[in-house]
Structure 1
Amino acid sequence: MSRHRNARTESALAGRLAALNEARELGEGRLDDAVLQRVYDVLERASSRRSLSAEHTVVGFFGATGSGKSSLFNAVAATDAARVAVRRPTTSEALAMVWQPDGSAPLLDWLEVSERRGGGPVPGLTDGGGGLVLLDLPDFDSVHRGHRETAERLAGQVDVLVWVVDPQKYADAAIHNDFIRPFSAHTAVTLVVLNQVDRLASSEVKPVVASLSSILDRDGLGKVSVLGVSAVTGEGVDRLRREVAAVVKAKQAQSARLAADVAVAAGHLEQAAGAGVAAGVRQQDRTALAAGLADAAHVDTVVSAVRTSYRLEAVRRTGWPVTRWMSRFRKDPLRRLGLRREGPAEVNRTSLPPAGAAGQARLDSAVRDFADAASDGAAGPWRASIRAAARSNREALPDALDQAVASADLNATKRAWWWPVFSVVQWLALLVAVGGLVWLGVLAALGYFQLPVPEVPREQGWPLPTLMVAAGVVAGILLAVTSKFLSAAGARGRAAFARRRLRGGIADVAQSLVVGPVEAETARYARFQEALNAAR
């Protein structure tokens, strides 16, 4: 059962480590580099420790100068290996007592502990089997920088932390703030020992233990029990041995330690990232962005040009032949903008005014409003990254918008079905009128030269040539007026079609250069939060 439980624990730990690594990778370039490096260090340590002996549990004794840490170490291990008062006044390097040395060498090499001793049977301590490594460490408040660094390094590597304090300095703020409190998440692998209780009166032990417990509660270690011991008299040593033996026997200290490290690292990431949920890309914001970019891309100018061009072309095709030639003196606005395609060649640029300061300001404003809406609710660093993603293609945006306008199929050269019909009728009407004029001219010439003038056919009393002229002129004028109304309606339809095509092209550009990057960044933020939750 224990083996299955350990397997489940290891599997859960592996999942949390993978989630923490994913959160770290997703936070790169968004969060503080120092925080990401700390998380990376945790992952590296976890990877190294998991690759080493799982049969050994490393228990480190940490304490301040004068706490009697080395004496307690000797008492627990039933040895005098750490009795170094003659050789050195304080512990200057780590000492390892190893039970079941086989397989421990790579682990101790990783811990950089060179001084090693083999331990013999100790009642209460080795009853749960071998695989125990006890470390006597340098004083963490040593004036020697190297001693302090060794203690700090190994505090981040050992499986179980045993904090040894004494009645004189147990409440020292520096000890708690600099060493004990940073490991408040490691309750499951922490033991706190009040050593030298023999120096207290029997009536003082409980109040001191209670005071220390209260301080530990403020440190976040309220669930850790305090063991009162005396390395000199042996009081409480057996209980401490049993506590250590129980941890070794459970074979879960390594996983519990690493799980606590993951929780702390996840907390650092969470603090650096802040709390919040990004609003993301909403349809109304997408529509507003497209409208803003369309305004900056002069879509209204192009639509107006399409409307005018259609009406001008309609006049050229269906106007009264006598006056339609005058429309050729008016320039086609689409041709002036470089948007009237007469053949299959693609148009790559327009002649629209380039995005100057005002145009760029309109673009920036539209993008900024969109980014602000999408990043609303996100925490500071991610809000900044979402905004940066929206602006990531700022330099390419004006040109892309111009190309979208230039490449849009506006149906500028497509002729209306009624144009040729009206044109043929107009020419027929003109021919009738001209025919009537020629007829009248011939009659007038004959009369002028005193030649016989033939009788002219009449209709309702009106001479037929006169009726021909009148009918041709009236029909031409009526057709011209009718074509104006039809061309106005057609121009509105063609303009509406052009507006849809242009906005579709602008929307595609917005999706590619603004919306897409923002969606990718908000999705990254969501994955970061999911990974962080899994790591926690």
Structure 2
Amino acid sequence: MSRHRGERLESQRHARLATRLESLNTARELAVGRIEADELQQLYGVLDRASTRRSLSSGHTVVGLFGPTGSGKSSLLNALTGTDLARVAARRPTTAEPLAVIWGEDGSSDLLDWLEVQNRHVMPDGAHLLPGVNGSRADADGGLILLDLPDFDSTERGHRAIVERLAGQVDVLLWIADPQKYADAALHHDFLDPLATHGAVTLVALNQADRLAEDELDQVTGSLRQILAAEGLGAVTVHPVSAVTGHGLQTIAEDVRAIVRKKEAATGRLSADADVAVASLQEFTGAELPAPSKTVRTALADRLAGAAGADAVIDAVVRSYRRDAHAVTGWPVTRWLGRLRADPLRRLNLRHSDVQSFIGRTSLPEPGPAQRAAVDRALRHFGEESSNGAVEPWRTAIRDAARSSEPELIDSLDDAVAKTDFTSGSRAWWWPVAGVLQWLFLAAMVVGIGWLGVLAGLGFLQLPVPPSPRVEGIPVPTLLALGGVAAGIALGILCAALARLGAQRRGKRVRRRLVASISGTSDAVAVAPVAAEVERYNAFTRAVEEAAKHR
């Protein structure tokens, strides 16, 4: 039952690690082109190592012995294996190369090839870790690989490079210190401090304990523990050992056996690497941003409308409306004068009934420096509003996405203006009524003048002039003539006032249409890339949070 429970827990750990790595890979894909490549090197390394290590033997646990010159790594390896392998290897030309001692050869070859360890020794069946100590065969073999590594403080640069590489690849890091160099800056600053998150797969042995008196050993061990705690490795046990006397070897061997039996070291190491990668990405995350709101998009469209010459267009709409109103409702005697003025909308090619409108261009002036500057200001403002709350470099990426649309947007604004309907519903319901009245008043004037003319002609010819009917003492012909003129002029003035009000309402209505048309264009050209960049930032943040959550 315990075995099945352990297998189930290990399966769960593998699943969590797979989820974390998948999330980190998603974050990597989203970060490319936004975060500097050198900032992502650590992430690249973690994903590359994880991908390779998970494809290799899961039945082997690689324990690397790291330490400075004189710490006694080789003697400790010999004591743990009951051999003199390290000493023999030291006499060969390959002393700069790592030495692998293997319990259970099957499946180890590809793993050691990846580790680039060519100097290998396979322990015979039945061999135990720390011979002479009671333990079953399962304790001694079943997938342990011990690596004896070059000194990390060697004068040979190649040695340090090997140590740095394998420190990032082995499953368990066994650091060997000695009483003289246990506080060495190279050990702590260059290796232990950067691996502070790897406490679960880190062992520390204070070798050469036989050289210290008991009180001195306690003092040095306590000092080393304090240093490790300050580096975030307070949970790591310090094992005082002696390869000469065998002091403490059984304890450290049991710790190694326990790690090998659990088969969790590789997963734990990769999970710790994932912690480091997550930490390196968290500085680029923040609160998720909302997509550009309708208010923000409408404000952008309104600013772009101004840049597109909306004021000139609306003025043309107003003047065209008043011109059309006068052509229908003005005093017929003078309304023809209005036709001598060109239609402002037609001059801008904004009457959709015109053949020219099929080319989809207006006759507005070509965009000049002022218009381009206005578009740039509108996009800058939009980028600032959309990126507010984002961290760098995402803030800059969102603002750049807004400004990148400027050339296409400037070309598209004229098309948006051309597609706007400026003339639908241009004839108000009262225009025909006023027009009929004007013609009736004109007819009354003509009848009155004609009547008066006939009467005047009869008088001129000395013919009898019939009396004219009167209304309130005023001759009807005179009333018709003067009343028709007065009524026509008065109606024309009234209609002009009503036309001004109607033109203002038409201007506001057309401006809304124009802003809506430009909004459609800006949504496709300017808002879409910004929204995509915002979502990319949000997806990156979610991926990093997901990787941090499944620890």
TM category (shorter chain) comes to: over 0.9
Identify the match of residue 512 of structure 1 among 499, 518, 524: 524
Greater alpha carbon shift after TM alignment, 454-463 vs 320-329: 454-463
Quick check: 1:193–1:229 contact (8 Å CA) kept in 2? yes
Deviation at 1:321, TM superposition (A): 0.7
Aligned position for 1:166? 178
> Is 1:30 aligned to residue 55 of structure 2?
no
Quick check: 1:290–1:507 contact (8 Å CA) kept in 2? yes
Identify the match of residue 197 of structure 2 among 160, 182, 185: 185
Q: Distance in 2 between matches of 1:449 and 1:27?
A: 105
Q: Distance in 2 between matches of 1:213 and 1:224?
A: 8
Identify the match of residue 87 of structure 1 among 82, 85, 91: 91
Deviation at 1:445, TM superposition (A): 2.5
1:137-536 to 2 correspondences below 5 Å: 137-271=149-283, 273=284, 275=286, 278=289, 281-282=292-293, 284-343=295-354, 345-346=357-358, 348-411=360-423, 414-536=426-548
**1:391-420 deviation per Cα after TM superposition (whole angstroms, max 9, x unaligned):** 120112222222222211122673222222
1:110-149 to 2 correspondences below 5 Å: 110-120=114-124, 121-122=127-128, 123=133, 124=135, 127-128=138-139, 129-149=141-161
**1:433-492 deviation per Cα after TM superposition (whole angstroms, max 9, x unaligned):** 212222322332233233444454444444333232123212212321221122122212
Q: Distance in 1 between matches of 2:181 and 2:412?
A: 70
Q: Distance in 2 between matches of 1:347 and 1:499?
A: 22
Distance 1:86 1:96, change over 3 A: closer
**SS at structure 1 position matched to 2:332:** coil
Aligned position for 1:59? 63
**1:49-105 deviation per Cα after TM superposition (whole angstroms, max 9, x unaligned):** 111111111111111111111111111122211113761599411111111111111
Quick check: 1:294–1:506 contact (8 Å CA) kept in 2? yes
Greater alpha carbon shift after TM alignment, 314-323 vs 140-149: 140-149
Greater alpha carbon shift after TM alignment, 80-89 vs 256-265: 80-89
Q: Percent identity between the aligned chains?
A: 52
Distance 1:126 1:283, change over 3 A: farther
Quick check: 1:397–1:513 contact (8 Å CA) kept in 2? yes
Quick check: 1:308–1:333 contact (8 Å CA) kept in 2? yes
Q: Distance in 1 between matches of 2:476 and 2:7?
A: 118
TM-score normalized with structure 2 length: 0.92
Quick check: 2:352–2:421 contact (8 Å CA) kept in 1? no
Identify the match of residue 99 of structure 1 among 100, 103, 127: 103
Distance 1:265 1:281, change over 3 A: same
Q: Distance in 1 between matches of 2:244 and 2:443?
A: 132
Quick check: 1:180–1:219 contact (8 Å CA) kept in 2? yes
**SS at structure 1 position matched to 2:84:** coil
Distance 1:375 1:213, change over 3 A: same
Quick check: 1:307–1:495 contact (8 Å CA) kept in 2? yes
Quick check: 1:159–1:253 contact (8 Å CA) kept in 2? yes
Which amino acid counterpart does residue 494 of structure 1 have in structure 2? R
Deviation at 1:172, TM superposition (A): 0.9
Which amino acid counterpart does residue 7 of structure 2 have in structure 1? R
Q: Distance in 2 between matches of 1:144 and 1:340?
A: 84
Q: Distance in 1 between matches of 2:474 and 2:373?
A: 70
Quick check: 1:408–1:505 contact (8 Å CA) kept in 2? yes
Which amino acid counterpart does residue 65 of structure 1 have in structure 2? T
Q: Distance in 2 between matches of 1:209 and 1:282?
A: 61
**1:174-207 deviation per Cα after TM superposition (whole angstroms, max 9, x unaligned):** 1211122211111100001111112222321111
Q: Distance in 2 between matches of 1:438 and 1:374?
A: 74
Q: Distance in 2 between matches of 1:85 and 1:349?
A: 84
Quick check: 1:280–1:373 contact (8 Å CA) kept in 2? no
Greater alpha carbon shift after TM alignment, 350-359 vs 304-313: 350-359
Q: Distance in 2 between matches of 1:84 and 1:178?
A: 30
Identify the match of residue 49 of structure 2 among 40, 45, 51: 45
Q: Distance in 2 between matches of 1:386 and 1:462?
A: 80
**Aligned residue pairs: how many?**
535
**SS at structure 2 position matched to 1:367:** helix
Question: Gaps (5+ residues) in structure 1?
Answer: none
Greater alpha carbon shift after TM alignment, 378-387 vs 426-435: 426-435
Q: Distance in 2 between matches of 1:13 and 1:90?
A: 37
Greater alpha carbon shift after TM alignment, 521-530 vs 181-190: 521-530
Aligned position for 1:2? 6
Quick check: 1:189–1:257 contact (8 Å CA) kept in 2? yes
**SS at structure 2 position matched to 1:40:** helix
Aligned position for 2:81? 77
Distance 1:125 1:105, change over 3 A: farther
TM-score normalized with structure 1 length: 0.94
Quick check: 2:455–2:465 contact (8 Å CA) kept in 1? yes
Please tell me the root mean square deviation across aligned C-alpha atoms, in Å: 2.2
Q: Distance in 1 between matches of 2:137 and 2:346?
A: 95
Q: Distance in 2 between matches of 1:503 and 1:86?
A: 81
Question: Gaps (5+ residues) in structure 2?
Answer: none
**1:195-240 deviation per Cα after TM superposition (whole angstroms, max 9, x unaligned):** 1112222321111111111111122211101111111121111111
Quick check: 1:426–1:476 contact (8 Å CA) kept in 2? yes
